Amino acid sequence: MAKKQNDGSTVKEERFQWTAKMDEAFIEAMLKEQNEGNRIDGSFTPQAYTNMVNDLTAKLNKDFKKEHLKNRLKTLKDHFSQCYDLFRGVSLSGFAWNSETRLIEAEDEVWDQLINEKPEAAKWKTKEICHYDELRQLFAKDRASGTSAITAKERRKQIENERRIETIQEVDQLLETNQVTLEKPITPEETQGAPTTPLSQLKLPTISKEKKKEKEGGRRKKY
């Protein structure tokens, strides 16, 4: 890659080459930052990158930059994801991870069946996967699906539902202690197949600050 100098000339920029030793140190650094809470929603914080750059530069005596780490992170994650998704982690029937050989292993007939269905699986029969256990700690959650992969919108809806449940439970408690009444009494006949009275039709009492403190104090004594 050519890089332009201030005087207008260009020089060939040396490509940043990653070695197995560098990968090992980088993965170790990522796990450390993740364990210290410097990875939020699957992304490392700016402070995490600063820490990793400083750590790797000192440990390996090489000039690391944030972009080097971000690019290598993408490469490691992509390679891991190909394997993880194909074998569903290590839960695909007949397959198992061997930490000594660093291979995904299975009987030949099991391999043949998978390769027949998915030819791209053939390379993983003999391809070692370095640091698979560590990469799984880093990236397995990102490959989750279904209920475990909840979106921000789904989480907001979940919180709203939880709040609604709490509100309904609070109203039930008020009804039980006669602290609230319904605008219209409900007869046994009306309860048969009739919809539940909406919360908007409930008359909630106004509780003064003094009364509220007294009530909260009673709860603390009770528990």
CA distance 212 to 219: 11
Comparison of pLDDT for 168 and 69, the residue scoring more: 69
Tell me what pLDDT residue 30 has: 97
Check whether 139 has a pLDDT greater than 60.
yes
Stretch 110-124: mean pLDDT: 93
pTM of structure: 0.58
Digit-coded pLDDT (tens) for 35-67: 999 999 999 999 999 999 999 999 999 999 999
Comparison of pLDDT for 212 and 36, the residue scoring more: 36
Residue spans of the domains in the chain: they are 16-145
CA distance 214 to 220: 10
Stretch 156-164: mean pLDDT: 51
Tell me what pLDDT residue 147 has: 32
Residues in a beta bridge with 44: 39
Digit-coded pLDDT (tens) for 168-205: 555 456 556 555 555 555 555 554 555 555 555 555 55
Is residue 110 within 8 A of residue 95, CB to CB? The reply is yes
Check whether 71 has a pLDDT greater than 80.
yes
List alpha helices for the chain, DSSP H. Answer: 20-35, 46-60, 66-87, 108-117, 132-139, 152-176, 188-191, 209-222
Q: How confident is the model at residue 151 (pLDDT cuts 50, 70, 90)?
A: very low
Say which residues have a Cβ less than 8 Å from residue 101's Cβ, sequence separation at least 6: 128
Check whether 124 has a pLDDT greater than 90.
yes
Check whether 141 has a pLDDT greater than 60.
yes
Report residue 166 as tokens: 């709490």
Burial class (CB in 10 A: 0-12, 13-18, 19+), 118: exposed
Check whether 150 has a pLDDT greater than 50.
no
